Structure 1
Amino acid sequence: MKLQPDQSDVQTIRAHGPGWVAVGSEKITHNVIIGSRGQQLAWAGGFDDLGPEHFAQLADMKVEVVIFGSGSRIRFPKPAWVAPLMAARIGIETMDTAAACRTYNILAQEGRDVAVALLL
């Protein structure tokens, strides 16, 4: 699906499909964290590989909210995994990856300090 956001100075996801997202002119095919301040970091290997350390990496970003794109279907992280975010008072929302891309773009374009963690 191609997304057509309004012109914006923040990093947005311009398109996505099964196993990939496009940020600017770059097509990303690995699990990734994308932040509205321009951050772009490789992330976990897959849902079964996740643990508290992956969500601690997100907590270290000190954003307002994290959008967790859990793949093609919604899979909620275990409470122990998100404990670092709760301790840092950072909100987390879980949704499938396509919805996470759209939600991230809306929040980023509103000027929110947000990150999206995507399992592709």
Structure 2
Amino acid sequence: MKLHLTQAAGSHLITGYDKGWVEVNHTRHEQSLIVLPAALLPGWQVSNFDQLAAGHFTELLALKPELILLGTGHQHRFLHPSISRELIAAGISIECMTTEAACRTYNILVAESRHVAAALIV
């Protein structure tokens, strides 16, 4: 699916997605990645949801987004509280949704000038 958003100039926007890839600013990524308005972290070392551990979010703790959208792949899944404990303690909310839903939601929040991160399992 191609997404079209003309606002939020200068930010990293998700411009498309489909099974096996996510496109950020018209560049296709076929591995999991983290996207923030001012940062793109390709090659996130998570290939599937069951692999997730608290350490996978350490880099995001340092960037201090107000919200993390976790794209869990094609199936909506929820994190075990032990994985998100440090994020919650730091005041960072995390919302789990399918990767497709996370892509759409990320662009909406960026257009609202929110400091959001999308951690996307591709």
Corresponding position of 1:42: 43
Q: Which runs of 5+ in 2 are unaligned?
A: none
Write the deviation string for residues 99-119 of structure 1: whole angstroms up to 9, x where unpaired.
000000000111111100001
**Which is worse superposed, 39-48 or 17-26?**
39-48
Which amino acid is the alignment partner of residue 115 of structure 1? A
CA drift at 1:47: 1.2
Corresponding position of 1:5: 5
CA drift at 1:4: 0.8
Q: Structure 2 length normalisation: TM-score?
A: 0.92
Write the deviation string for residues 60-116 of structure 1: whole angstroms up to 9, x where unpaired.
220110000000010111111011111110011110010000000000111111100
Alignment of 1:3-42 (within 5 A): 3-9=3-9, 10-42=11-43
Which amino acid is the alignment partner of residue 14 of structure 1? T
Paired residue total: 120
**Which is worse superposed, 36-45 or 87-96?**
36-45
Aligned identity (percent) is: 39
Query: SS state of the match for residue 117, structure 1?
Result: strand
Corresponding position of 1:71: 73
CA drift at 1:38: 2.5
Which amino acid is the alignment partner of residue 6 of structure 1? T
- Find the aligned partners of 1:45 and 1:72 in 2 and give their Cα distance: 12
Which amino acid is the alignment partner of residue 5 of structure 1? L
- Find the aligned partners of 2:64 and 2:78 in 1 and give their Cα distance: 21
Runs of 4+ displaced beyond 3 Å: none
